[in-house]
Structure 1
Amino acid sequence: MKQQLNEIIIDILKENEKLVFIAIKQRAKFEGWLKFEIACRLFDSYCDVEVEYPYPNNKNRYADIYANGNLIELKTPNTNYNAEQCKSCTRPITKNISSIIEDINKLRNAGGNCEKYIAFVLFPIDSDGKYSEYIERIKNDGKVELICKPLTINRTNVLVCSAEVF
């Protein structure tokens, strides 16, 4: 599923490049829109898809997507890396990275017999690979094995990642 999730997200981003670029150039998060796009794709493959699905052990906490026994949390964290096409930003990205790790831990403690996944689109990423320190932090602190694939949207580099959470 984690590989399929990455492929679905990449296909959605490629098919909606203009729309996604509007968000990317402003460093605006686009998680809400992407959640419904993913749900539509999964609906074609799964008989039971819902968005904002309650966690098995906490009805006050919701996963972004439920698809046939899979809970999925989605993030679209922006970075402060300089990118020609993007609005300048000086805020540190540590809170965005921490929120991914928090969602991993929430999923891990969600209970139930569901398979659990985290997926995120990190943007923009630098061409020097400095972003890899944040990917390592997510892997180490979140205790997950990420599958990541770089992608270019209108000359801006982004990174699509997903992992199963145990």
Structure 2
Amino acid sequence: MKTPLIALAGALLMTAVPAISQDIIVSAEEAAAVERISRELDRNLVAADWSRNRSAGEGIAMVRFQRGADGRPVNVKIYRRSGSGSVDRLARRAVNRLGLSVPLPAIGGDGQLFQANIIVASSDAEFANLSTTLGKLEKARLADPRERAVFAFSASPREAG
């Protein structure tokens, strides 16, 4: 079985919507924090040893959460299901493991909502297809001004395992 590609793709860095049209201002400190969170989530996804699960599936899982007082994710929920229970479980598990080694940084105010957009694909072509789909989903989501306050993050695609 070919190893699936697992990646995070977020509204700030990997969508088809230009950042300026989103009315989002990100400080250098916040950008560095998002990069660190993205790397940690990427490691969590790879550590799940996805390649052992033959019924892994493919899809885009959108997971929302807030930062608890202890720097760990709280209120972790699937915002948009991938269509694969395996992908959704992987995404939720990876988000729940954030902040284990180093607490999540305090970005935004109390109650700040975060979103991890996680793509799982079995080929580069499917990853490109899902990335295009995610771009359209994020563009539609960000058309709602209330959604612009959601802090999303991103990382480069990488092969698991």
Normalising by the smaller structure, the TM-score range is 0.3 to 0.5
Normalised TM-score (structure 1): 0.40
| Structure with the largest fraction of strand | 1
Normalised TM-score (structure 2): 0.41
